[in-house]
Structure 1
């Protein structure tokens, strides 16, 4: 549906400036305890947050954020937790947390941590256990981050080296052509391993000793360093290395090196029975015959290893994970307790997989994955997901992080993807942060959803000389979500894209006909030329998204159309779709 949003006054002068005056509500004022740029998404921070940054509760306004996107996200979450939503029902319960500049601006829970007796039968309603903000969840593959942090600690201590073959530490690992696989390749999933052990550890072997031998004997399916393939075998192998070089089991290394110094009291493997009332249930399993799994690791291979595994097994809460995330933003320290050096954190943020575009990876952490990071995605953004319905995204450039913990496998793993809420929480945080026009002034903004088109169109214009179109734009979109500037000489029946000249940090070279991207958070100045027209013409800005992923969106400022001679005629600036006018910026 086309919506006539706002009218623009078009000055009949040599410079035809689209003065964006109208009746839209002003954007909220922002402030921050950390200076005038608090909450600015278009002014990315460099380096680590101050080492003394400690998490504290606050409102979005306290952190210089707009509360509206965060409120909208919480309404979305309520729908995803509602069985009456049909196909939109994603999980029985979930807990979320969002933080910016050390301020926890969102922390909420909804739905149920325990609801089902088996795969088809609900418990009596009086036995349902609501999800809480302190509910403990099985993190699934978020556990790999704990293994990776321990690996970084041993790297800093000199007990392992990135480019040393794994077989140097575990000679028996060299079997089946694995002699050249390095520590670096385990941590970046470029070792050549298949995705999972075949056969599964719980199916093919009688005890833990034989299961560990199966990890050592695993045969790669690709030569090391030639392919990116996400594999649990990488972190299972890393676990054996760490245990060998330290002489300690992985759960002890995680406790001594991470959870104890950071006081993460609800984080660890094999949680005690005393915490069961706060633990979310996962899947009802019949093969293996475990019944409703609750308080034990969901992953069958981790369960077969006694609940302590390099790839899975850690349980935690949003509060504990928030401390870990802030520790990384702080450069490895929290409340005076250092668990990582600054150099180690930088290695986790460095993309070691540049040979595999789209599979950016630091040491242990995934980087720049828009499919679940949404609007927070960028070259430095760290994160990971977990099969049980968990995700953590840390954005150093905005000093923000978001956490989603759910029990989406309760009571069965045959559920829709959890990626929409994973992206939505990142998009909400990115859209809550301000973007301000260079030099100030009003904005047009669209953060529209997938599979939609928004247009911003002038009325009919005439000119006796070639016309220049100039504007500033902040573009944070998936590479296939495009901003285009077009002209029409037939009243809008057909449109032609204009070649663009773009300047600014990270601007695309040449004369592209569309703009996109999340790699650079910077304003660009854009110029286009319209040939002299015999009659009336129109200009429009068109933003189109594909059905898959979205970034933060597009901002436009200082829109102007100029010519060397007075421009007779005038017209309205008409918005359709997602464009919103922000007279005081945002």
Structure 2
């Protein structure tokens, strides 16, 4: 594999040739160019929403570290991994709640009886509600390699339903992929439709999120940066198909992962959230979310010390959003190296999309890059009168 040289790392933009409207974000470019040079990821697309509109959408680097790899463009679509949890699954739950079709206190077992029926001890399982799943305090384990044994969606769902509830619901905070797999299936019971289909019809299409979808068609895969060289499970380069193995078993679309999107779409989604707080008067569609619904889902749930709201995360003491995003912010990360943060007080949002898992999952430099990126975003905005 050839190493990307300095010129290639800066292939799309540089501080010197940035558009005039982006010069204030010179610090953002420096952070991301240094990250590419340090092999945090081979390329990225990024954007900022402020004052009711996108004020920056750009890209740096390439799909891989090869010098002849495709350049990342501002419109490039990425596997956004667990950002699926908010843009698809949580957004669906928000709309269903807003329409009076979802009660957060509904026990999961009422919608998915297999979660309770047949257990030797179902006492804790009966207490798990949709609120607990959204808040990641259901008592379910954080991550399980279902794909090692499950070859079909039915086998994987069955294994997920049979997981032990390891703690009393509400007492332990543990970020849980299985919890969101089950939540996604519960939402399908409520809507009577496949979650991916319902989200496309009720969330993505009304907002004009034209690049956002599950399972991109084969002919579009080459236009999406690869996430890794899989030497353990699928034994091939993973490009344009979901990286998460459990989501792949679930035909590429699940409550926890599987969504593909780009910066423009995610900023538009963030702008829709912020419009409920009066940050923008520009409308080409009916408002999707009520302010009360957003406030409900943005509220921390506990137990003490947990930053988790309903589906969304909020800034912790050492947050990936950095110190300038207020506590009244919501966001989420994706394992592939993506992030979305929305400050509800400052009416600011930032998106960073990368394939930090290329060529493998070992590098953790993204943990340093994310807060530095968000700090640079907020400092750039402060230079033009935007509140930090």
TM over 0.5: yes
- Of 105, 108, 115, which residue of structure 2 is paired with 1:163? 105
Give the Cα separation in 1 of the matches to 2:134 and 2:92.
Answer: 12
- Establish whether residue 132 from structure 1 lines up as the match of residue 73 from structure 2: yes
CA separation of 1:432 and 1:206: change in aligned 2, threshold 3 A: closer
**Residue number in structure 1 paired with 2:34:** 79
**Residue number in structure 1 paired with 2:7:** none
Unaligned runs of 5+ in 2: 1-18
1:326-475 equivalence runs, <5 A: 326-331=271-276, 335-353=284-302, 355-357=303-305, 359-369=306-316, 370-434=318-382
State the TM-score, normalizing by the size of structure 2: 0.87
Give the Cα separation in 1 of the matches to 2:191 and 2:20.
Answer: 41
**Does structure 1 conserve the Cα–Cα contact (< 8 Å) formed by 2:27 and 2:380?**
no
- Establish whether residue 173 from structure 1 lines up as the match of residue 115 from structure 2: yes
Query: The residue matched to 1:261 in structure 2 has which SS?
Result: helix
- Of 242, 255, 263, which residue of structure 2 is paired with 1:297? 242
How far off is 1:334 after superposition?
Answer: 5.1
How far off is 1:153 after superposition?
Answer: 1.4
**Residue number in structure 2 paired with 1:262:** 207
Query: The residue matched to 2:206 in structure 1 has which SS?
Result: coil
When structure 1 is superposed on structure 2, of 378-387 and 421-430 the one drifting more is 421-430
How far off is 1:368 after superposition?
Answer: 1.8
Unaligned runs of 5+ in 1: 1-56, 61-66, 83-87, 116-121, 437-520, 522-551, 553-586
Query: The residue matched to 1:311 in structure 2 has which SS?
Result: coil
How far off is 1:435 after superposition?
Answer: 8.8
**Residue number in structure 1 paired with 2:14:** none
How far off is 1:58 after superposition?
Answer: 8.5
**Residue number in structure 2 paired with 1:149:** 91
**1:466-516 residue CA offsets vs partner (Å, 9 max, x unmatched):** xxxxxxxxxxxxxxxxxxxxxxxxxxxxxxxxxxxxxxxxxxxxxxxxxxx
CA RMSD after TM alignment: 2.2
CA separation of 1:195 and 1:212: change in aligned 2, threshold 3 A: same
Greater helix share, structure number: 2
**Does structure 2 conserve the Cα–Cα contact (< 8 Å) formed by 1:96 and 1:109?**
yes
Give the Cα separation in 1 of the matches to 2:294 and 2:340.
Answer: 16
**Residue number in structure 1 paired with 2:16:** none
Give the Cα separation in 1 of the matches to 2:151 and 2:40.
Answer: 36
State the TM-score, normalizing by the size of structure 1: 0.58
**Residue number in structure 1 paired with 2:138:** 191
How far off is 1:224 after superposition?
Answer: 0.8
Query: The residue matched to 2:268 in structure 1 has which SS?
Result: helix
Greater strand share, structure number: 1
Give the Cα separation in 2 of the matches to 1:93 and 1:218.
Answer: 38
Give the Cα separation in 1 of the matches to 2:39 and 2:137.
Answer: 35
How far off is 1:227 after superposition?
Answer: 0.7
**Does structure 1 conserve the Cα–Cα contact (< 8 Å) formed by 2:28 and 2:377?**
no
Query: The residue matched to 1:59 in structure 2 has which SS?
Result: helix
Query: The residue matched to 1:327 in structure 2 has which SS?
Result: helix
**Does structure 1 conserve the Cα–Cα contact (< 8 Å) formed by 2:222 and 2:239?**
no
CA separation of 1:71 and 1:148: change in aligned 2, threshold 3 A: same
Give the Cα separation in 2 of the matches to 1:301 and 1:58.
Answer: 44
- Establish whether residue 95 from structure 1 lines up as the match of residue 50 from structure 2: no
CA separation of 1:425 and 1:286: change in aligned 2, threshold 3 A: same
Give the Cα separation in 2 of the matches to 1:162 and 1:382.
Answer: 19
How far off is 1:237 after superposition?
Answer: 0.8
| Greater relative contact order structure (CA < 8 Å, 6+ sep) | 2
CA separation of 1:246 and 1:103: change in aligned 2, threshold 3 A: closer
**Does structure 2 conserve the Cα–Cα contact (< 8 Å) formed by 1:251 and 1:269?**
yes
Query: The residue matched to 2:227 in structure 1 has which SS?
Result: coil
How far off is 1:135 after superposition?
Answer: 0.9
- Of 208, 216, 235, which residue of structure 1 is paired with 2:180? 235
How far off is 1:292 after superposition?
Answer: 0.4
How far off is 1:383 after superposition?
Answer: 0.5
Runs of 4+ in 1 over 3 A off after TM superposition: 433-436
Structure whose alpha-carbon radius of gyration is higher: 1
**Residue number in structure 1 paired with 2:3:** none
How far off is 1:284 after superposition?
Answer: 0.6
Query: The residue matched to 1:73 in structure 2 has which SS?
Result: helix
- Establish whether residue 253 from structure 1 lines up as the match of residue 206 from structure 2: no
**Does structure 2 conserve the Cα–Cα contact (< 8 Å) formed by 1:138 and 1:388?**
yes
Give the Cα separation in 2 of the matches to 1:97 and 1:371.
Answer: 19
- Of 145, 167, 170, which residue of structure 2 is paired with 1:225? 170
**Does structure 1 conserve the Cα–Cα contact (< 8 Å) formed by 2:212 and 2:265?**
yes
**Does structure 2 conserve the Cα–Cα contact (< 8 Å) formed by 1:58 and 1:104?**
no
